[in-house]
Amino acid sequence: MSNGKTALLFLLPAILLIATFSLYPITYAFMLSFQHFNVMHSNWVGVENYRRVLVDPIVHRALLNTLIYSGVVVTSSIIISLGLALLLHERAQRWQTTFKALYYLPAQIGVVVTAVVWVYIFAPLDGLLNHSLAALHLSQPLWLANPHTALFAIITTAVLGGHGAGVILYLAALGGIPKSYYEAARLDGSSGWTQFWRITFPLIRPTTIYVLIIGVIGSFQVFGAIYLMTQGGPQFSTDTIVYDIYDAFFKRGEVGIACAEAFLLGIVIVTVSLLQYRTLASDVEY
Amino acid sequence: MRRFFSHCRPCFSRREFVQGLCACGLASAGLLEGCAGSARRGPLRVWSFNHFEGYEAMLQSQLAAFRQRDSRFALQYEIISWAEEDDKLTVAMTSGHPPDVLWGALDPRWIATGLQIPVDGHLTAADRRDFFPTALDIMRFGDRIWGYPLYQTMYCMAANADAFEAAGIVWRKIQERGWTWDEFTERARSLKKVVTYPFVFFTRPTPEVWSWFTLNNGVLDANNNGIKSDGSFGWDRPQVTQALSYLRDSFELHAIAPAQEPAFTDENQTDLFFQGRAAISARQGPYVITEQRRIARALGSGKQPPHPGYQRFNVALLPFPHNPPAQARAHAGGGGFMVFRQKGIDDSGRVETALRLAHFLTDSSAMNFAAQLSLLPSRRSGMERFANALQLQTPNMQFFQRYLDQAAPRVHAPLDVASAREARVAEVAIMPAWERALTGDATPDQAVAAMTEAAAGVLAGE
């Protein structure tokens, strides 16, 4: 057997898996996005599904919620992860390892478990949060039932939840900065703040871009917490694009709309990622 | 390795690679379609739920008995969970590969797929005499009957009869005469004085509560989502606003029920009731009698109750409160077995066998299902056969039979509205109005006005 055929043979399982579970569904979903779907007789409707998605005020609300969620969660995640990494970086190796494991642990817990715990924390009757507020004689909001607090509550669960991966990435990046840069800066009399902005931050920029892009892609696809905690309510205050796609498919049976919305989300994510990359990565050396 | 790949690189161009990938995609599509096709030619699939302890064994014996009569198709059953019901069925229906026989309540979405088989042409004259008209009506959509009913029921309220008696409330009178909204508020206040429950009336606070009170305020020509039979929106009138105002007051001013909270589920509603922490629970059905018997049996024999904290007390079934001159009403409901064809396979033998199986699963001996849950059987013969098990002479079951006679007429929207736009009306018009009124973001008048406008937009196809 020639080398080419051998290579093809090795590649075939991966190609088959990609073709079956990615290429075929994506192509099929793309075709469905131009149809009014019925399992027995679908109709071709052109770009009508895309038009309906683009003019739907609920989708606009979902997009706004997604942007708010993504903006707050990703920004705070970067700040908190970097802050924790800076605190840990100067510590002894065994402490670094211990804290890395502790911070990474929540990432290993499924979103269902986390969401259920948070539902109990936010519960209006016996919830930990309202119980504590009652003990302090403070008012006890209906966290997940009030449209003014529900998105904030969901964001809180994400912000307090997962920084493990960010901390590990930043610690690795910080470890890669030569100590001589800081020694030279100290000899020149620069403050810690100046060292951070002039040395640390520019040199960990590739990591920041990576965390940012991965964070935005992940947060744009938030679903589990919304599904389990609020189902997009109250008054669509926690409706996000991916939850809306689920809603269109499973609750309303609008398969074409769901597919159109999914493709529009894909376009938004690719555009935002490219913009971030072009804006921030112009002078990054890899 | 590097050398190996340097040799490989010229073997196929990028274009050839993409073409190969597409070919693999097409081959995979064919493979998947082939697998689905072979599955369709496989055994008859029956989906049901875990209704009560011992149900699975009962279903197994029913299927074995049917197989002895008709061995053309192997039978395969699956007990699916309530939590996965909607998503799992949506996927099955969308794929064109639903179960051949499904236990459930009628759902216009499944009728709209074109896969569901109407059964009216298969009902014999004996069937038509034996099934109660209410039971057949439960499975009717438009002018067709879309499944064989197994039982008939109505949602009602369940009360802790011991708590009522401690508060000096004669619950049997409520069963006989019903209670008005004012009486309901007054009784709830009396209950608050003598019991230490956090809630007098505990309900899962969804717009469904609103639909019960709207129905009991005389709005009989619209369904639970406010849609009339001509497809227009019927919750645009003062009785609807009045029901919302009453509920908002009950929730907020009288602190009778808990404020809205999405975290409340049917499960914790039931838990709070059986733990004795809520004096009235809705919605419930006569199955609470069975559950209370189970709790009493466990506690009486010194065992742990079915769930932590469950207590033994007497249960009373009560009607929803009404606002005169409107009378106490509720919608009758129930479940049964429905039959589906498979997409892309034209096998009348398969469909006929599935129809016979569904019929077999709802014959008079199958009415044991209803007896196990204190529900009323769909067949007269079943009612007679299981009269003792159903304890039809008890005050609760006597009340329930009378209550079923007061069932509100069923209102169905046209299929295109019922199968798609009705859910959207509930989502973008009714739910926000309910939430805004309860959280104080809008008065009931404002909420209903906004709801009417939003519903009109959805129904107009905007």
For every residue of B349-405, DSSP letters joined together read HHHHHHHHHHHHTTSGGGGHHHHHTTPEESBHHHHHHTHHHHTTTSHHHHHHHHHHH
User: What amino acid is encoded at B307 in this protein?
Assistant: H
Q: Give the β-pairing of B101-104 and B44-49.
A: parallel
Nearest to B115 among A40, A58, A233 (CB): A40
Collect all residues with Cβ–Cβ distance below 8 Å to A154 and sequence separation of at least 6: A69, A225, A226, A229, A230, A238
Measured between CB atoms, does B225 come within 8 Å of chain A?
Answer: no
**CA torsion angle B160 B161 B166 B170 (round to 10):** 130
User: What amino acid is encoded at B221 in this protein?
Assistant: D
In the block, tokens 């008012």 appear at A139
The residue of chain A nearest to residue B424, with distances taken between CA atoms, is A252
Q: What are phi and psi of A273, to 5 degrees?
A: -65, -40
| pLDDT tens readout for residues B200-243 | 888 877 889 899 999 999 999 999 999 999 999 999 999 999 99
pLDDT for B181: 95
Nearest to B94 among A15, A18, A255 (CB): A255
Q: Would the CB atoms of B198 and A125 count as touching at under 8 Å? A: yes
pLDDT for B12: 60
| Runs of H (alpha helix) within A137-254 | 150-159, 164-175, 179-187, 192-195, 201-203, 205-220, 224-229, 241-246
Alpha-carbon gap, residue B243 to A147, rounded angstroms: 23
Nearest to A19 among B28, B86, B258 (CB): B28
Alpha-carbon gap, residue B371 to B373, rounded angstroms: 5
Give how far A164 is from chain B: nearest CA, Å.
28
Measured between CB atoms, does B114 come within 8 Å of chain A?
Answer: yes
- Tell me the chain B residues in contact with residue A6 when contact means C-beta distances shorter than 8 Å: 8
Q: Would the CB atoms of A3 and B7 count as touching at under 8 Å? A: yes
Quote the percentage of chain A above a pLDDT of 70. Answer: 97
pLDDT for B49: 93
The 3-state DSSP composition of chain A as helix, strand, coil percent (nearest 5) reads: 75, 0, 25
User: How far apart, in Å, are the Cα atoms of A207 and each of A9, B264, B403?
Assistant: 36, 42, 68
Domain A55-280 classification at class level: mainly alpha
Alpha-carbon gap, residue A261 to A245, rounded angstroms: 6
Q: pLDDT tens string for chain B (462 positions)?
A: 444 444 545 556 666 666 666 666 666 666 666 555 555 568 999 999 988 889 999 999 999 999 999 888 999 999 998 888 888 999 999 999 999 999 999 999 999 999 999 999 999 999 999 999 999 999 999 899 999 999 998 889 999 999 999 999 999 999 999 999 999 999 988 888 877 666 788 887 788 989 999 999 999 999 999 999 999 999 999 999 999 999 988 876 666 666 555 445 666 778 888 988 888 988 888 889 988 988 998 998 888 888 888 989 999 999 999 999 999 999 888 999 999 999 887 788 899 999 999 999 999 999 999 988 889 999 999 999 999 988 889 999 999 999 988 889 889 999 989 988 898 999 899 999 998 888 788 999 999 999 999 999 999 876
pLDDT for B4: 45
The series of mean pLDDT values per 10 residues for chain A, 286 residues long, is 80 90 92 91 92 92 95 94 90 83 82 88 83 87 85 92 85 90 90 91 90 90 91 88 93 91 93 82 55
Contact B152, B134 (CB under 8 A): yes
Give how far A88 is from chain B: nearest CA, Å.
38
The residue of chain B nearest to residue A123, with distances taken between CA atoms, is B263
The residue of chain A nearest to residue B25, with distances taken between CA atoms, is A19
Measured between CB atoms, does B275 come within 8 Å of chain A?
Answer: no
